Amino acid sequence: MIKINTDRLVIRDHVEDDLDAMHSLLSDEKAMFYLPDIRTRNLEETKRNLQTAMEEANSDNRTKYFFAILDKDSQEYIGEIGFTKAIDCDYGNVMNLGYFIKENYWGKGIVTQACKAIINYAFHNLHTIKIETGCITDNIGSEKVMKKLGMIKEAEFKNMFYYIKNYTIALNIEC
Ligand SMILES: CC(C)(COP(=O)(O)OP(=O)(O)OC[C@H]1O[C@@H](n2cnc3c(N)ncnc32)[C@H](O)[C@@H]1OP(=O)(O)O)[C@@H](O)C(=O)NCCC(=O)NCCS
């Protein structure tokens, strides 16, 4: 099991007991507003996500690294962070980073701290040569995290399509 400690956080592979806390976050419309493709509609969907995360953690050919973020002192579940292997070539891996946490923890520097820890882990332990991520232009908090991490903006995509409920909405997405 991967387990990374920071000053305030524990970032670790998932366990079965994460289900309820994970479901309350993954099914939360506000927290998942910019991530409608990940939002779950019922406990079964969350269970499948958790199962995938745990299977990947035990895989010899791991491509997904989805971690729970916990408060180090209280051990309370805060949210999710991780990356997927987007490109695997002779030079190394390109990882795609993602994160979302419970609303009562927003604006406390948690995701910035968690990202720094897992980026450091990826570069030192997973033969990583590049970390990528992106967000919708409106997602000011997420873009701020990227800037605080020192990420470089490479492109701005126009008229990307996003699916919210049954509607298809064209939005700009930065990365
Ligand atoms: C975006 C998100 C990941 C930021 O995490 P965080 O732990 O609050 O981020 P940090 O506190 O490390 O830093 C983010 C900065 O953005 C600000 N911020 C956080 N959430 C914000 C929000 N919803 N709206 C505006 N600003 C926000 C913080 O105050 C902080 O500002 P500062 O640098 O001036 O202090 C978190 O708000 C979240 O989980 N949002 C819902 C899911 C989501 O959008 N995920 C990203 C998809 S690309």
Report whether pLDDT(175) > 60: no
Is 141 close to ligand 1, i.e. is its CB under 6 Å away?
A: yes
Closest-CA residue to 98 (of 156, 53, 161, 164): 53
> For the segment 79-133, what is each residue's pLDDT rounded down to a tens digit?
999 999 998 888 899 999 999 999 999 999 999 999 999 999 999 999 999 999 9
Burial classification of residue 53, based on how many CB atoms lie within 10 Å of its CB (0-12 exposed, 13-18 middle, 19 or more buried): buried
Give the alpha-carbon dihedral of 40, 45, 47, 50, to 10 degrees: -60
> For the segment 24-45, what is each residue's pLDDT rounded down to a tens digit?
999 999 999 999 889 999 999 9
Mutate to test the pocket of ligand 1, among 27, 116, 142, 162 (most ligand atoms within 8 A of CB): 142
- Could you list the beta-strand ranges (E) of 15-140: 64-71, 77-89, 92-101, 128-132, 135-136
Distance (Å, rounded) from C-alpha 153 to C-alpha 146?
9
> For the segment 74-87, what is each residue's pLDDT rounded down to a tens digit?
999 999 999 999 98
Q: Which atom of ligand 1 is nearest to the CA of 113?
A: 12
Domain definitions of the chain by residue range = 3-134
pLDDT, average across residues 50-57: 97
Of residues 59 and 91, which shows the higher confidence score? Answer: 59
Q: Which atom of ligand 1 is nearest to the CA of 134?
A: 48
Closest-CA residue to 171 (of 29, 36, 25): 36
3: β partners? 12
10: β partners? 5, 70
Measure 106 CA to ligand 1 centroid, in angstroms: 6
Is 83 close to ligand 1, i.e. is its CB under 6 Å away?
A: no
Is 142 close to ligand 1, i.e. is its CB under 6 Å away?
A: yes
Measure 31 CA to ligand 1 centroid, in angstroms: 10
> For the segment 127-162, what is each residue's pLDDT rounded down to a tens digit?
999 999 999 888 999 999 999 999 999 888 776 655
99, 111 in Cβ contact below 8 A? Answer: yes
Of residues 163 and 150, which shows the higher confidence score? Answer: 150
Measure 133 CA to ligand 1 centroid, in angstroms: 14
For the segment(s) 3-134, the CATH number from 3.40.630.30, 2.60.120.260, 3.20.20.210, 3.40.50.300 is: 3.40.630.30
Is 106 close to ligand 1, i.e. is its CB under 6 Å away?
A: yes
Is 31 close to ligand 1, i.e. is its CB under 6 Å away?
A: yes
